[in-house]
Amino acid sequence: MPIRTSVPDTTSAIDRSHPEFPVAELVDEDNFFKDHTPPAYLPEIEAQVREFIAHHQTTGKNVVLVTSGGTTVPLENNTVRFIDNFSAGTRGATSAEYFLENGYAVIFLHREFSLLPYSRHYSHTTNCFLDYMDEADGKIEINKKFADEMLLVLRKYRHAKDSNLLLLIPYTTVNQYLYTLQLISKCLQVAGKKALFYLAAAVSDFFLPSSKIPEHKIQSQATGTLVVNLEQVPKFLRRLVDSWAPSAMIVSFKLETDANILILKAKGALERYQHQLVIGNLLQTRKDEVVFVTSTDERWIRLTEEQKGVVDIESLIIPEVIAAHTDWTERQ
């Protein structure tokens, strides 16, 4: 299927040719980009990302790309219905904070309206926005219950923003996610080994190819059933490892609900994609324990009973990931 021509060509930023692979060997990943239109705003994002990375070429900081939140798969072109992957973005938003505290610059590629570093403490909670506010002497103020802690969080947030340490890039659909991931990966090549990929987003495994998406809202049929024929999203991790970011360290996540297959799936991903680390977790216990799986090792990181519900497990995960990054860098 040819690239659509009805949409303005905003693809110049994207290398579609993959000169390292002759045309005859194009795989699903390459075909995806041939068959799907890039988001129109991509050149804008490219400018921001390039500026951010160039800045940290001068500061000398390591740069981590943290991906976070679910992706949507539209079932209609004027999107009313879509398939989504459950994720509030807690893992990604929390991890981003600990990367910042440990000296990394962070590109935070996140699902729009999912949790963000720092503001996560106050959104998606049982409090609504205005429950943090109070009126005193005819003026609005932060409720005294929250003010002291919020000031500490605000200072960290402001430091990250003012020091240009945190770049927020939103996406919604799996198509936007993949195009943006590709773009950022290629921009990050200049950072070499200093680049780290921490892929915590819950990316859909299945999608509806654009050629099959109806223009209008699907109407109920007399039969009363709706059959959705989804295709597998190509395994982009392969392209990330072998051509988009060949000199960076890559950490992927494996989320399962069945404990019996978690390690097996994590090992399978490592063997297939040949990257450095898979962090495995179960939906039910993901806030209390994760397992680091490498080609030679598997090691659980767990909160103690006393730490559960009190300590972010990401405060244990991130220093370990950074140690692995440092170690890996030295071995290159």
> Which residues are at the interface with its own copies (CB under 8 A)?
72, 75-76, 78-86, 113, 116, 118-119, 122-124, 128-130, 133, 135, 138-142, 147, 150-151, 153-155, 157-158, 202, 204-206, 215-218, 220, 224-232, 255-258, 283-284
Which is closer to its own copies, CB of 119 or CB of 326? 119
Buried b / exposed e over 202-229, threshold 16 CB at 10 Å, is bbbeebbeeeebeeeeeeeeeeeeeeee
CA distances from 221 to 82, 208, 214, 218, 328 (A): 18, 20, 15, 9, 56
Q: Which is nearer to its own copies, 282 or 324 (CB)?
A: 282
SS3 97: helix
Q: Rounded to an integer, what distance in angstroms lies between the CA atom of residue 78 and that of residue 112?
A: 18
Half-sphere exposure of 283 (CA within 13 A, CB side): 9
Instruction: Give least dist CB 192 to its own copies, A.
Output: 31
- Nearest CB to its own copies, comparing residues 36 and 325: 36
Half-sphere exposure of 69 (CA within 13 A, CB side): 23
Identify whether the C-beta of residue 263 lies closer than 8 Å to the C-beta of residue 237: no
Q: Give the residue with the Cβ less far from its own copies, 23 or 227.
A: 227
Indicate the DSSP class of residue 249: E
State in angstroms the smallest separation of the CB of 76 from its own copies. 7
CB of 268 to its own copies, least distance (A): 11
Q: Decide if 73 contacts 230 (C-beta within 8 A).
A: yes
In the complex, least distance from residue 131 CB atom to its own copies, rounded to whole angstroms: 8
Round to whole Å and give the CA distance between 58 and 124: 37
Give 57 or 284: the residue with its C-beta nearer to its own copies.
284
* 148 beta partners: none
Tell me how far, at minimum, the Cβ of 159 lies from its own copies, in Å.
11
Least distance (Å) from its own copies to the CB of residue 281? 12
Question: Closest CB to its own copies among 232 and 326?
Answer: 232
User: Which 3 state secondary structure label does DSSP give 289?
Assistant: strand
Q: From the CB of 75, what's the least distance to its own copies, in Å?
A: 8
- What's the CA gap between 245 and 195, in Å, rounded? 9
Which H/E stretch holds residue 45?
helix 42-59
Give the nearer residue to its own copies in terms of CB position, either 9 or 205.
205
